């Protein structure tokens, strides 16, 4: 009780800063708007009277990853009510694509009053949290209401494990409130065990990101876009870049076009509020076209940078490329990389920076199989891109090896659903969630 009290006091102090960033209107980014009350637990009732199964995915990345699992669950349980919560409006925008099978609400802040209000309105049957969103008051309140909580696709890097060890008393409050933790890898399971999670609750089910299914619509749109960009050109994409990475990538592109003059860079910033700034940066050195303003006709051969300033089209842009550099991997310990399995599934060779701790096990395995290249700086980026662009055999080898690795690791969705469908033991009666 004392630990959660001090945690709640700290949350009250930092909540205004968090809410300011969440509610502030940003160019090119969807807004929470009039739905801000949902973050305080004042959520509209669902259209159905059934108790829904509740999936939580904090933002757009987690939402895209969990989408195939939600679709599969609905196929198995066509009569089930499904609720999806996200924290961010970009995640909400992605969740709305499943509006035919699920309803969306914003996740309440981690205050007991907000969670209580939400539960009394929604009456969920169980909560499935994507990856590792562990909120003490939320978990405690759900346990009081006898609502099972599972972490699915759970990951806990060595770095994150060490951080949690510094607040171990708080984690010990959280642990009894968890019903099960379905981990991506054995290393993740070992790290959760180090923090005191009962081995009876732990199971390795694999990463559901391996089960990514690319729709024919995406493939067709990607092929059509490639024709617009120019089938005879060499096209590379820098995907999901963060502030501080774009300059490195553009410097590398300057080197690349000296050797391959008609090479085209597709640059896709991770956050939509950065679109305008990145466009101005590109225009300082290159003839740049924005996807949001480009016509459907063929792109001019003089265009050197194509800015992907649209939401939800990353897979289409990757499909239109010859090779992919994954962003979020050149900023030290700040981000830790993004999902390299998306380009791998699309048969696109991959480059990544030296900081990829969010996908360490996956990247290390791909490195061993000659299915990905790690590049340290703009010089490395340029030389690797040029080497790949001039070696179709290497491109084929890398993409083939990556596909084989994915094929060997599929099935996580089925294993996860098998565990979800098992009758959940009541966490409060089994372990007694601490107050």
- pLDDT reported for residue 426: 42
- pLDDT reported for residue 3: 81
Per-residue pLDDT of the chain (435 residues; tens, 9 = 90+): 788 888 888 999 998 988 888 888 777 678 888 899 999 999 999 998 899 999 999 988 899 889 999 999 999 999 999 999 999 998 999 999 999 999 999 999 999 999 999 999 999 999 999 988 889 999 999 999 999 999 999 999 888 899 999 989 888 889 999 999 999 999 999 999 999 999 999 999 999 989 988 999 999 999 999 999 999 899 999 999 999 999 999 999 999 999 999 999 999 999 888 999 999 999 999 999 999 987 667 899 999 999 999 988 999 999 999 999 999 999 988 899 999 999 999 999 999 999 999 888 899 999 999 999 999 999 999 999 999 999 999 999 999 999 999 999 999 999 999 998 875 444 344 445 655
- Distances, alpha carbon 76 to alpha carbons 70, 270, 324, 420, 421, in Å: 10, 34, 35, 12, 10
- pLDDT reported for residue 100: 96
- pLDDT reported for residue 434: 52
CA distance linking residue 107 with residue 44, whole number of Å: 12
pTM over 0.75: yes
Domains present along the chain, CATH in parentheses = 28-212+412-431 (3.40.50.11720), 217-408 (3.40.50.2000)
Q: Quick one: tokens of 170?
A: 């708080």
Positions annotated as catalytic residues are 62
- pLDDT reported for residue 356: 94
Q: Quick one: tokens of 227?
A: 């024709």
């Amino acid at each position: 009780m004392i630990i959660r009290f001090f945690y709640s006091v700290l949350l009250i102090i930092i909540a205004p800063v968090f809410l300011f960033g969440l509610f502030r209107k940003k160019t090119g980014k969807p807004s929470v708007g009039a739905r801000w009350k949902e973050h305080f637990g004042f959520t509209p009732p669902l259209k159905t009277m059934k108790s829904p199964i509740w999936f939580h995915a904090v933002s757009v990345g987690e939402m895209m990853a969990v989408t195939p699992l939600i679709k599969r669950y609905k196929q198995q349980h066509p009569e089930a009510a499904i609720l999806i919560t996200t924290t961010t409006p970009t995640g909400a925008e992605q969740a709305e694509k499943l509006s035919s099978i699920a309803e969306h609400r914003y996740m309440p802040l981690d205050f007991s009053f907000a969670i209580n209000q939400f539960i009394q309105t929604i009456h969920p049957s169980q909560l499935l949290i994507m990856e590792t969103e562990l909120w003490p008051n939320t978990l405690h309140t759900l346990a009081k209401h006898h609502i099972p909580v599972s972490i699915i696709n759970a990951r806990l890097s060595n770095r994150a494990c060490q951080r949690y060890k510094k607040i171990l008393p708080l984690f010990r409050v959280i642990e009894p409130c968890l019903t099960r933790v379905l981990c991506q890898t054995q290393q993740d399971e070992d790290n959760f065990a180090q923090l005191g999670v009962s081995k009876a609750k732990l199971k390795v089910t694999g990463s559901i990101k391996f089960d990514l299914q690319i729709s024919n619509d995406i493939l067709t749109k990607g092929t059509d876009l490639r024709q617009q960009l120019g089938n005879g050109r060499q096209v590379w994409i820098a995907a999901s870049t963060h502030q501080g990475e774009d300059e490195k990538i553009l410097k590398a592109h300057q080197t690349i076009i000296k050797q391959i003059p008609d090479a085209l860079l597709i640059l896709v910033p991770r956050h939509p509020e950065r679109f305008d700034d990145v466009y101005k940066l590109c225009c300082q050195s290159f003839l740049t076209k924005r996807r949001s303003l480009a016509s459907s006709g063929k792109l001019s051969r003089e265009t050197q940078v194509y800015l992907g300033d649209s939401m939800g089209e990353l897979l289409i842009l990757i499909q239109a490329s010859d090779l992919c550099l994954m962003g979020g991997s050149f900023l030290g310990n700040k981000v830790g990389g993004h999902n390299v399995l998306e380009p791998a599934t699309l048969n696109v060779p991959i480059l990544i920076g030296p900081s990829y701790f969010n996908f360490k096990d996956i990247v290390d395995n791909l490195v061993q199989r000659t299915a990905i290249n790690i590049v340290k700086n703009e010089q490395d980026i340029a030389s690797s891109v040029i080497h790949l662009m001039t070696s179709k055999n290497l491109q084929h080898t890398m993409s083939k090896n990556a596909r084989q690795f994915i094929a060997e690791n599929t099935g996580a969705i089925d294993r996860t659903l098998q565990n979800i469908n098992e009758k959940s033991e009541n966490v409060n009666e089994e372990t007694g969630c601490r107050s």
